[in-house]
Structure 1
């Protein structure tokens, strides 16, 4: 992408603004010189890293290092022969290596939360010995430590004692001169690196020594006493030795750094990349930017997309920025936007270009997460009416020169943006040239956005396959733009309406209308009629879609109601079968009593007759039980005894499971994740269908009485998912959307919190796949920010 395009889209302004969030100059340079990414996998990885860092920032976490120096000049210096680093340059290398180690360790510990960023920082070179060597020799203020070497320690010890002796000698001489009244100043001074005494000029020969300086008035002479000369020379020799030892230490450390130059340069490069990622993440958090979907084809859908540069500039001025909603399907490759001046045509076109440009440079963009962007191999733009004075070109000539350059470069994967195509010349000729330009770009397969006032171009877009009209909505009454994009509808310039509103007289307007070409007037009338028809169709389509959704929901509700009736009917049958079993048990008990009486009184015929009746009744009840069991469980009577591998119902716990082992009168049943052992009498064999029906029956009973109580009532249009797992959240979202649809609510709020962002991403995937969700977006600042998602049905 060339510099002109970056400048006209305001991308350079965005990059310069975002560079202010960087921690180092090398990060800033990396950011502003970055090239767009055309490889999908690389781009997705880059965007995911920015997204993870945005979540890191929103959690309020600090970076694990306090500073990030720019080490590029230091490493360039080391590339020179016989060069060595000063203490501050060594400290810069140390701070870079320390920051690299801290960042790598921190992100590795949190690799599950920030996997994409960890994939970058795990490549950092870990080093400890060089850091230790530098800090052992240099302190935080850039001074070489006494302990940097044994030689330096001994030299500084001698220097310290020598300076102490010299100071003592000077103080004695001072007291003697003071007693004699020779001193002009009662302190020991420093002149030309020597300790001196300030004597009155008339006593300058009283003290043997060397004159080092005079005062400005000439009344004071500064003398270095001869008695201290030997001490001073010794100190000077030690200072020279100290400088030589320090130089040796610095050369040695510089050599160690030079041996690891490639590794340090590797860390420098990765840390610059991280710095640029972190700056983009801070900008994303500042503008509530998100990661939209990347289209495999040509689909371009922008939902609540804001111009990022307007967000930055208008915030300072307290002005409102309006969102853009726009969509081009894969078959629609050219959009002709028309409408009045200052209606937002150019802003809408530049917003599309800037969002696409930022996305391919690894920026998150301020729009809804339901937005979809294709990838382009280049963005070409012609906007404005700048004349080329150097080449003596008019406005129209300059415009054509830019268009010709676009035609040379555009490919089937290019995005082309042209403002006021061929509007600076004769209307008919300009319209013909404009159509030829569009035809050429359509033939190449480019994606094209054009703004225009030319009526012929609007008619062309209406008729040409692959092209579509679009307009920026305008209030006829107030003659003010609403900045809402209307697809499939050509716009009007509203020139006469503006003239009338600005106070021109009726006679003037009638005169102007007489000069208006008849076809043009007719075209404006047709556009007004078409606009009304399209608006009515859009309203009817929306009404039809709502009714269709309501019918679908009603059908689903009826199906669920029928299922509920079936389940209840089955439950009633099951309960009846249990009652029959209880009656049978009572009958058996009665039989046992009769048998006992018969044994006690075998001669009684009445007892024998009662016994026969009970036997007959028992057979009838057993027959009814068999029929009921087959209806409820699907298992024939003759197959009632459970065997290994059979599905059974545990009567005492109302649970179902599979028989995994059999003993004499007991069985082991696998019920989900646990096993239980119970008597065979406590088991009831069932079919797989019966197990599913009974499971649904239990779930309905546990949830409070069936579907109508679970789905039919809507206590709130807000769903709180905090604390749930991903699977729990998906199930809760589906039930929440069902309740919204049933109660004819078109908007809802899902609270998932900020946290690591895993739950929010799971919510986003679920909403993208749900057929009833028309769009969704992260909440505004007043709605809860990135901790909530707003859904539209």
Structure 2
């Protein structure tokens, strides 16, 4: 129950319905939108919300529903119900198109059985009677015209008309040609007059031909004559056309008779199309306002997260602005929220948002709020917004408010939602405030739920000291003197009357005079509220700043972990290579010592030979010894390192070439290896200080990478040669970090392609194999994607 009757208009619900109507494809759907009303049946509310939510999912995530035609087949079915009546060709076409749509929709949902249960319930147990469609298709074509072969008689008549028209045209062409040869005709060609084909004759020659004159030119110099021979033929055509019309009526009458037994089923189909149009319009509007389906409970409570007023949201979208979201809760503990704050701070919009969204939810409409929001079921919604004074009823503004308060107090209960704007205004504040407080106390005793807005201090104090009533305020930036449109629950807000007046430009002496007229107690209360809001704003800004800093710290930690894992991975590679090199050195040393001992034994310890062998051992020892040089000073912080420079690790002899700089990390190339090192661990060296072997290997690899092409053409090669070349390409691609190679092998009999793919599948480094796009070679080209 809504009170008063214009509550829907006050909250904007009527305007919401008009916006939904704009999405309807049919008049029937618009009529259903007009019937939308606030419901109190919990099961019905859930059903309507689920239908709208499922249709929204179809519109956003599924293939388009095959809804192409919406016609009012209810009217046509009622016409066909009458004995002796018949539907026209156009009307049968509308029935045909509507049935095609119905059957396509049912097939669509049958393919997705169980996916959209609430929408499937719309046509549950509805039979698919395609016999109707077959009968119509036999008579009416896809353009909505009767088929020439709808009956044998119609086919004969149509053929007769075509033949007579051909004869008439041939005859009049002959007469026109002869008249033109005798210069009897005026300038021009054959023309139509009164639906008849006529010859344009000069007026002085009209007696030279027998026929019927249908018209003359404005000057009277030209007459338009239908020759006598053609006149007879055209009359015959006209008679045949009458016969054709009578035959069509007979066919349509018989078809209507065949359709009459199916009238109840047609009405059911009409109901399905109307409901689909209705639900579709609701879902399209939900997408417009970014609406979601809230959780619905069969209790008198609500909890809204990130709620926005739908009409305000649409207006702001046009201006590329955003709506500040609202978070509010009304339940058994916080039954009534008393909202205070500055003028133009958003109090009324806040309250209207709560009321409109609750009405929309109880009307089965999705709401622009987070999907974890909760809406309940209120049996009554009482609204007091705006000025309802009436000259006819002899009601002043305040009298109208009191009349509503009387109704609220008498009829409200624990399942009532009340919305009162500017509570207590319209009369002397000394009396209006206490009366409003008494009404609020009475409503609170009745466990009423709701939201009220006020500027009265006594109501703010009452809310602070009364269980079940909670203060809330709209935040205000008192530094920039502008509202923030954010609701803060838990404390009252100042009206900022003097601050706003000062910003507008009211003279300072007037402001001082006004301040002196306020009691000291009231002045202290207002100052306290202003200070509280300022401190609250500072805390909020600090919290936001801390949150941003925490996000930055988390980002840096994640980046650090990523770099650490990358460094650990490269460290393992270096250690592995070092171990392998040490192993090779030891093996070579052992072989050298054994060979030396053997040669000494064979030479019987010849002094000269022994000396030479010892020198060989010392030479090999020096070659494999690690040179110890004094550690050079770390590079100065301001010394620039850039790509292409040669550098050396400060804690070792490893040298490499700089490939890339990433913040304070440096990517260096050491032969075949790439690694990342902190800048502070590097010192710049000259090219001459780098061993020639490392310079040559690094330059070769970096040059190879720039010129490397991850594509190979093996067409015409023998299988062994092709696999050998592919293996070399595969090895280089792995070494250089490429993620795929492209192999052109041609189509042929597919033997080479099969062998290549079998060969590549044995490597663990191959992730998957794919054909090239059909337009660019198809299965004649293989892409090998590497891990």
Tell whether the 8 Å contact from 2:109 to 2:120 is kept in structure 1 after alignment. yes
Q: How does 1:409-448 map to 2 (within 5 A)?
A: 410-448=412-450
Matched with 1:152 is 154
Once the two structures are superposed, residues 98-142 of structure 1 have per-residue CA deviations (whole angstroms, 9 ceiling, x without a partner) of 111111111121023222222223344422122222232222333
* Count of residue pairs brought into register by the alignment: 542
Matched with 2:330 is 328
Once the two structures are superposed, residues 432-486 of structure 1 have per-residue CA deviations (whole angstroms, 9 ceiling, x without a partner) of 2212332443344431211111111112222233222211112222222222212
How far 1:536 moved relative to its partner? 12
Bigger CA drift: 86-95 or 377-386?
377-386
Tell whether the 8 Å contact from 1:97 to 1:127 is kept in structure 2 after alignment. no
Q: 2:311 aligns with which of 287, 304, 309?
A: 309
Bigger CA drift: 105-114 or 396-405?
396-405
Q: Is 1:376 equivalent to 2:413 in the alignment?
A: no
Bigger CA drift: 22-31 or 421-430?
22-31
How far 1:154 moved relative to its partner? 1.1
Q: 1:395 aligns with which of 386, 391, 397?
A: 397
Matched with 2:346 is 344
The 3 A distance-change label for structure 1 pair 531 and 170 is: closer
Q: How does 1:641-720 map to 2 (within 5 A)?
A: none
- C-alpha distance in 2 between matches for 1:174 and 1:505: 97
Tell whether the 8 Å contact from 2:29 to 2:275 is kept in structure 1 after alignment. yes
For residue 113 of structure 2, give the secondary structure of its aligned residue in structure 1.
Answer: coil
How far 1:364 moved relative to its partner? 1.4
Tell whether the 8 Å contact from 1:489 to 1:534 is kept in structure 2 after alignment. no
Tell whether the 8 Å contact from 1:178 to 1:186 is kept in structure 2 after alignment. no
The 3 A distance-change label for structure 1 pair 200 and 338 is: same
The 3 A distance-change label for structure 1 pair 123 and 379 is: farther
Matched with 1:288 is 290
How far 1:195 moved relative to its partner? 3.0
How far 1:406 moved relative to its partner? 4.6
Tell whether the 8 Å contact from 1:12 to 1:32 is kept in structure 2 after alignment. no
The 3 A distance-change label for structure 1 pair 80 and 416 is: farther
Tell whether the 8 Å contact from 2:300 to 2:414 is kept in structure 1 after alignment. no
- C-alpha distance in 2 between matches for 1:418 and 1:527: 23
Q: How does 1:446-485 map to 2 (within 5 A)?
A: 446-485=448-487
Once the two structures are superposed, residues 644-694 of structure 1 have per-residue CA deviations (whole angstroms, 9 ceiling, x without a partner) of xxxxxxxxxxxxxxxxxxxxxxxxxxxxxxxxxxxxxxxxxxxxxxxxxxx
Q: How does 1:133-212 map to 2 (within 5 A)?
A: 133-185=135-187, 187-212=189-214
- C-alpha distance in 1 between matches for 2:419 and 2:442: 14
How far 1:72 moved relative to its partner? 4.5
What do you get for the CA RMSD once the two structures are aligned?
2.9
The 3 A distance-change label for structure 1 pair 464 and 353 is: same
Tell whether the 8 Å contact from 1:381 to 1:418 is kept in structure 2 after alignment. yes
Q: 1:355 aligns with which of 343, 347, 357?
A: 357
Q: How does 1:40-55 map to 2 (within 5 A)?
A: 40-55=42-57
The 3 A distance-change label for structure 1 pair 404 and 203 is: farther
Once the two structures are superposed, residues 55-74 of structure 1 have per-residue CA deviations (whole angstroms, 9 ceiling, x without a partner) of 22222521123232343443
Tell whether the 8 Å contact from 2:302 to 2:331 is kept in structure 1 after alignment. yes
Matched with 1:118 is 120
Bigger CA drift: 184-193 or 214-223?
184-193
Query: Looking at CA atoms only, which structure, 1 or 2, has the larger radius of gyration?
Result: 2
Matched with 2:27 is 25
Matched with 1:791 is none
The 3 A distance-change label for structure 1 pair 451 and 70 is: same
The 3 A distance-change label for structure 1 pair 299 and 129 is: same
Tell whether the 8 Å contact from 1:104 to 1:122 is kept in structure 2 after alignment. no
Q: How does 1:211-222 map to 2 (within 5 A)?
A: 211-222=213-224
**5+ residue gaps, structure 2:** 545-787
Once the two structures are superposed, residues 240-284 of structure 1 have per-residue CA deviations (whole angstroms, 9 ceiling, x without a partner) of 111111122222333334332222122212221122212222222
The 3 A distance-change label for structure 1 pair 517 and 84 is: farther
Tell whether the 8 Å contact from 2:386 to 2:421 is kept in structure 1 after alignment. yes
The 3 A distance-change label for structure 1 pair 72 and 400 is: farther
Once the two structures are superposed, residues 273-322 of structure 1 have per-residue CA deviations (whole angstroms, 9 ceiling, x without a partner) of 12221222222233332222123433321111111111111111222200
Q: 2:13 aligns with which of 8, 11, 14?
A: 11
The 3 A distance-change label for structure 1 pair 229 and 312 is: same
TM-score of the pair, normalised by structure 1: 0.64
TM-score of the pair, normalised by structure 2: 0.64
Matched with 2:250 is 248
For residue 207 of structure 2, give the secondary structure of its aligned residue in structure 1.
Answer: coil
Bigger CA drift: 164-173 or 116-125?
116-125
How far 1:407 moved relative to its partner? 5.0
Q: How does 1:60-99 map to 2 (within 5 A)?
A: 61-75=63-77, 77-78=79-80, 82-99=84-101
Matched with 2:129 is 127
Matched with 1:641 is none
- C-alpha distance in 1 between matches for 2:119 and 2:108: 11
How far 1:404 moved relative to its partner? 4.2
Tell whether the 8 Å contact from 1:297 to 1:330 is kept in structure 2 after alignment. no
For residue 146 of structure 1, give the secondary structure of its aligned residue in structure 2.
Answer: coil
